[in-house]
Amino acid sequence: MTENAMFCFQCQEAARGTGCTLKGVCGKDSRTAAAMDLLLFVVRGVSVVADELRIHGHEIAPETNRFIVDSLFSTITNANFDEESICRRIDHGLTLRDNLINEAQRFDLSLPAVDELTWRGKRADYEVKAATVGVLRETDADTRSLKELIVYGLKGMAAYLEHAMRLEHDDKSLHAFMQHALAAITCGSLSAEELLSLVMQTGEAGVKTMALLDTANTARYGQPEMTRVNIGVRNRPGILISGHDLRDLEELLEQTKDAGIDVYTHSEMLPGHYYPAFKKYAHFAGNYGNAWWKQREEFSSFNGPILFTTNCIVPPLPGANYKNRVFTTNSTGYPGFKHIQTGADGRKDFSEIIALAKQCQPPTEIERGEILGGFAHNQVMALAGPVVEAVKSGAIRRFIVMAGCDGRMKTREYYTEFARRLPKDTVILTAGCAKYRYNKLNLGDINGIPRVLDAGQCNDSYSLAVIALKLKEVFALADINELPITYNIAWYEQKAVIVLLALLSLGVKNIHLGPTLPAFLSPGVANVLVEKFGIAGIGEVESDLGLFGLSA
Ligand code: FSO
Ligand code: SF4
């Protein structure tokens, strides 16, 4: 695939606020970007046939569902930089697609005449084909924008569904929706209204997926509870686990328990500490570092092996001292990082990581102290009495939902400043790696209720929606928007897109999204979101505080 030949605008860091065209700001090269475009073409093809078969009453094999979910996940920002692993997915997808086509033909089903079904290419043809099937294949800017909004929502949904599936929780209707939506944007010439309706349905499916994952996590690991997490280090070698996959955390803790080493979480794995099931492990030492984008420094000083269970990977600099200590698993990948496969029994063998850890130095201390978290819906509901009382008495004036993602852009300092300058009678509700912008500020409490309530990972934004719906019930309000809650959300990648669509589908209005609005929103589509849902960007801290009625 030729250099200087890519177009990607799926994340908040899209170059110049319009799209990456030479190389991704994230580090994705144009060859990998093109391979991902072709993989998504194959995913659409598989979905078209699967959807048609399903409509005619045929069962779709779990392997097909898994392929769609894994492929979508592997194209999320910062998940997979390994072109070869993307090409292997294309090979596999083309075989799956052709098998499904044969099945449809056996039942005399007529299939739509789309390129996604008729193209027959081999590895040698991938490069040329990929150049024609990217997001710019759709020439109308508004149609492209709506279709990509759906696809990015589905990518985020796929990530969460994959985590639930790894915990043996699945829902066929979610796969059916996902494949139906992909088929609809491939075959139909849908109007803007129809596409917008599909956007909202994607949000509804997102709510169901996050609820499924919440059930999967809490059924196996217990309800998250208020927890103080150590951010210092111990004196034994450690393994650092990053990403969102709790099943990997479970297996790693189990396999390391008598190994003379410690396990630390990084970035989005921090909420692992909030689950009762993991508290029994004495070697589960704490959280090391911050959000994903600081990994180059933090992995250097960690000294031990690092396991990526999901995004966000930052490509290491050529001389990075940790390059040979990084492992990937699930949908993630990076050329040169060792990839841990799932065994036939569904388990993983982390012995190579453990052996390496034993030869490493203990982590170098970069900070000391604790962070407080674990305020998912169950824990907040346990505090419902004092919380409701504080709202009624005026001790809590307003909640500010500041969930979402962190990122390396300097403009994100806005969130630290915003949190710092919020009046003392406000409470921040958060989830996702956005919290690292303010979770070490010690913002105090209101009558014993911490002023930063961290529900967990970005998928635990579901908890924030559950809390809002519960408060609406307690205060007997007709509309969720009557609650004293302001939404000031930071986004980075496509999981934040499904969180946003989920909130919209629940009727939440006037969400502020920053640090910039998505490049994939055409002016026309952005206008619709502004008019229908009151979506807005962010401005300066001072003026935004004023806008939200929160000036000191
Ligand atoms: Fe962050 Fe990365 Fe959770 Fe994302 S680590 S940015 S939205 O992958 O998934 O919040
Ligand atoms: Fe650019 Fe973001 Fe796409 Fe990476 S994922 S190529 S940074 S738009």
Counting ligand 1 atoms within 8 A of each CB, the residue from 209, 312, 402, 435 with the most, and so the one to mutate, is 312
Counting ligand 1 atoms within 8 A of each CB, the residue from 72, 80, 292, 430 with the most, and so the one to mutate, is 292
Listed in sequence order, the residues at least 6 apart from 157 whose beta carbon sits closer than 8 Å to its beta carbon are 174, 178, 202, 205, 206, 209, 498
Q: How many Å apart are CA 462 and CA 469, to the nearest integer?
A: 11
Q: How far is the CA of 96 from the centre of ligand 2 (A)?
A: 28
Q: Which helix (H) or strand (E) segment is 111 a member of?
A: none
Q: How many Å apart are CA 9 and CA 16, to the nearest integer?
A: 10
pLDDT for 416-461, tens place per residue? 999 999 999 999 999 999 999 999 999 999 999 999 999 999 999 9
Segment 46-63 shows an average pLDDT of 98
Q: Which residue has the tokens 């002023």?
A: 451
**pLDDT in the model for residue 551:** 87
DSSP 430-492: E-SGGGGGTTTS---EETTEESEEE--SGGGHHHHHHHHHHHHHHTT-S-GGGSSEEEEEE--
For residue 123 the two structure tokens come to 């590895």
Taken in order 95, 152, 11, 267, the sign of the CA dihedral is negative
**pLDDT in the model for residue 359:** 98
Listed in sequence order, the residues at least 6 apart from 413 whose beta carbon sits closer than 8 Å to its beta carbon are 437
Counting atoms of ligand 1 from 1, which one is nearest the CA of 76? 8
* Rg of the chain on CA atoms, in Å: 23
Do 38 and 90 meet the contact criterion of CB atoms below 8 Å apart? yes
1-10, 251-260, 341-350, 427-436: the lowest-pLDDT one: 1-10
Q: Which helix (H) or strand (E) segment is 428 a member of?
A: strand 426-430
Look at residue 38 and tell me whether its pLDDT is greater than 60: yes
Check pocket membership of 453 for ligand 1, CB cut-off 6 A. no
Torsion, Cα of 227, 231, 234, 237 (10° steps): 110
Look at residue 2 and tell me whether its pLDDT is greater than 70: no
pLDDT averaged over the chain?
97
Segment 508-516 shows an average pLDDT of 98
Q: Do domains 227-358 and 375-547 have the same CATH topology?
A: yes
Q: Which ligand is nearest to the CA of 409?
A: 2
Q: How many Å apart are CA 549 and CA 551, to the nearest integer?
A: 6
What 3-state DSSP class applies to 349? coil
Q: How many Å apart are CA 226 and CA 228, to the nearest integer?
A: 7
**pLDDT in the model for residue 254:** 98
Counting atoms of ligand 1 from 1, which one is nearest the CA of 405? 10
Percentage of the chain modeled with pLDDT above 90? 98
Q: Which ligand is nearest to the CA of 313?
A: 1
Counting ligand 2 atoms within 8 A of each CB, the residue from 6, 8, 83, 136 with the most, and so the one to mutate, is 8
3-17, 291-305, 333-347: the lowest-pLDDT one: 3-17
Check pocket membership of 431 for ligand 1, CB cut-off 6 A. no
* Paired sense of beta strands 326-329 and 370-373, if any: unpaired
Q: How far is the CA of 382 from the centre of ligand 2 (A)?
A: 41
Instruction: Please tell me whether the overall predicted TM-score, pTM, comes out greater than 0.85 for this model.
Output: yes
Q: Which residue has the tokens 């590895």?
A: 123
Going from the C-alpha of 239 to that of each of 301, 407, 423, the distances in angstroms are 12, 24, 39
Q: Other C-beta atoms within 10 Å of 151: how many? A: 23
Q: How far is the CA of 203 from the centre of ligand 1 (A)?
A: 18
Q: How far is the CA of 13 from the centre of ligand 2 (A)?
A: 6
Q: How many Å apart are CA 416 and CA 436, to the nearest integer?
A: 9
CA 378 to chain centre: 22
Segment 520-531 shows an average pLDDT of 98
Look at residue 41 and tell me whether its pLDDT is greater than 70: yes
Q: How far is the CA of 184 from the centre of ligand 2 (A)?
A: 25
Fill in the DSSP letter of residue 135: G
CATH C-level class of 375-547 = alpha beta
Look at residue 69 and tell me whether its pLDDT is greater than 80: yes
Q: How many Å apart are CA 4 and CA 23, to the nearest integer?
A: 7
Q: Other C-beta atoms within 10 Å of 472: how many? A: 18
Counting atoms of ligand 1 from 1, which one is nearest the CA of 496? 7
**pLDDT in the model for residue 1:** 39
Residues linked to residue 241 through DSSP beta bridges, in sequence order: 265, 307
CATH code matching the domain that covers 15-219, chosen among 1.20.1270.20, 3.40.1350.10, 1.20.1250.20, 3.30.497.10: 1.20.1270.20
Check pocket membership of 330 for ligand 1, CB cut-off 6 A. no
Going from the C-alpha of 523 to that of each of 31, 135, 534, the distances in angstroms are 29, 17, 15
Domain ranges within the chain, ordered by starting residue: 15-219, 227-358, 375-547
Q: How far is the CA of 483 from the centre of ligand 2 (A)?
A: 36
pLDDT for 115-172, tens place per residue? 999 999 999 999 999 999 999 999 999 999 999 999 999 999 999 999 999 999 999 9
Segment 20-46 shows an average pLDDT of 98
Fold of 227-358: Rossmann fold (3.40.50)
Q: How far is the CA of 437 from the centre of ligand 1 (A)?
A: 14
Look at residue 549 and tell me whether its pLDDT is greater than 60: yes
Q: How far is the CA of 525 from the centre of ligand 2 (A)?
A: 20
**pLDDT in the model for residue 3:** 44
For residue 243 the two structure tokens come to 């990403």
Q: How far is the CA of 298 from the centre of ligand 2 (A)?
A: 23
pLDDT for 300-314, tens place per residue? 999 999 999 999 999
Q: How many Å apart are CA 487 and CA 504, to the nearest integer?
A: 12
Segment 488-514 shows an average pLDDT of 98
Look at residue 4 and tell me whether its pLDDT is greater than 60: no
| Band of pLDDT at residue 330, cut at 50, 70 and 90 | very high
Q: Other C-beta atoms within 10 Å of 235: how many? A: 8
**pLDDT in the model for residue 500:** 98
Going from the C-alpha of 386 to that of each of 405, 475, 524, the distances in angstroms are 29, 14, 45
Residues linked to residue 308 through DSSP beta bridges, in sequence order: 242, 328
